[in-house]
Homo-oligomer: A and B are copies of this chain.
Amino acid sequence: MDAISVIRAKRDRAELTDDQIDWIIDAYTRGEVADEQMSSLAMATLLNGMNRKEIARWTAAMINSGERMDFSSLSRPTADKHSTGGVGDKITLPLAPLVAACGAAVPQLSGRGLGHTGGTLDKLEAIPGWRADLTNDEMLAILGDVGSVVCAAGAGLAPADKKLYALRDVTGTVESIPLIASSIMSKKIAEGTGSLVLDVKVGSGAFMKNLDDARELAATMVELGTDHGVRTTALLTNMATPLGLTAGNALEVRESVEVLAGGGPADVVELTLALAREMLDAAGLGDADPAKALADGSAMDHWRRMIQAQGGDPDAPLPVAREQHTVNASSSGILTTLDAYAIGLSAWRLGAGRARKEDPVQPAAGIELHAKPGDAVQAGQPLLTLHTDTPDRLPAALEALDGGVLIAPDAAPATPPPVVLERIA
């Protein structure tokens, strides 16, 4: 077996054999197959695709590259959620303690942001004292005690995926359904959750720009999870415009706490509850009432305990940016477009995201929205506020908004489109 023959097979549109897949994932993890060989194979895979059988084997090989976690000692059923990534997607923050408050154990292994989409760990790190790195024992202890934990995945979990993901990020080979599906599902299956709900984003701010691609990705992942004994469902959700009214780490923490306090933007509350119901159903806790847990303060109570268990102070003031710049409406009419990609890119340029894995983020940087698509606005009214510690970033951030904010003088006010577009099970 050699790397070149595997690359050539995929290049020439052959189906990779089980042996070829097992061998190349193992040899790549061990460093025998070089990065330049794997990136060539990744590009061939992106352009020529993989069938379901190949994707299943590829996923299994990545799971087998590392350790598997075991939550069987917990008394509660485990339920996990994964989002494919969007702008203003802070849902994990209210969702994890909410579902824990309803009786499930929520082991939420999360990542950091890269490019225009944010990362859950970056958001929580805006809370003074909070730390993302836990040992497996610490994680299990918090899960047993509080019921939810959000932390970084350990190095032992699907190491092949860790290596391949970093490689894809710098070689233009991210946007491949087989590679995205196997990357997500290898980590979730190795993590050992009993059930999983996938939030597959669709729209300008997501990897999947259209419903067909999102459906294919969702169906591929649901099948992979089910085949490995994980009860898996997926919601396709709207990412044409940011979720809620904030994009940026500390800003999103603040908004999440508003939701846990019983308030917050309607779309964030709607999606949080929809995902909570999916997770509770999948975990066999369909009788629980997440709306009640939000209203009666038990979700907030779990949030505070979860943050404290990881060293954070839920009462500490969140960082505030040194510079705030408000953009006003240039005309009156209906705000028809507030493009998720434009807002995400602008927030990223303000310092909310990172260009390279090694870069730090600015916890306080980001964008606050004062209106949502469908709203009527008056000329001169504030539309959005940019937050940054480094004002020299403002011109580039404003440039990113060009064409992403549209006001139509003659349109009628509209109700916002639904957040949940489809369910795939």
Residues of A with Cβ closer than 8 Å to B?
3-4, 7-8, 11, 34-44, 46-48, 167, 170-173
Contacts and interface: CB of A to CB of B under 8 A. Distances in A.
B47 A171 contact: no
A48 B44 CA distance: 10
Given A35-B35, A48-B47, A40 B7 contact: no
Contacts of A3: 170, 172
B37 A170 contact: yes
Contacts of A44: 43, 47, 172
Given A35-B36, A38-B36, A43 B11 contact: yes
Contacts of A172: 3-4, 7-8, 11, 37, 40-41, 44
A312 to B, nearest CB: 35
Contacts of A170: 3-4, 34, 36-37
Tell me how many chains of this kind the complex includes: 2
A98 to B, nearest CB: 37
Given A35-B35, A46-B11, A40 B173 contact: yes
A172 B48 CA distance: 15
Given A11-B43, A43-B11, A43-B43, A171 B36 contact: yes
A43 B11 CA distance: 8
A34 to B, nearest CB: 7
Nearest to A4: B172
Contact of A40 (B34, B40, B48): B40
A364 B34 CA distance: 34
Contacts of A35: 34-36
Contacts of A43: 7, 11, 39-40, 43-44, 47
Q: Which one of A34, A41, A43 has the highest number of Cβ atoms from chain B below 10 Å of its Cβ?
A: A43
Nearest to A35: B36
A46 B41 CA distance: 12
24 contacts: A3-B170, A3-B172, A4-B171, A7-B171, A7-B172, A11-B46, A11-B172, A34-B36, A36-B36, A36-B39, A36-B170, A37-B39, A37-B170, A37-B171, A37-B172, A39-B43, A40-B42, A40-B171, A40-B173, A43-B43, A43-B47, A44-B47, A47-B47, A47-B48
Nearest to A42: B40
Contacts of A4: 170-172
Nearest to A171: B40
Nearest to A44: B43
Q: Which one of A3, A46, A173 has the highest number of Cβ atoms from chain B below 10 Å of its Cβ?
A: A173
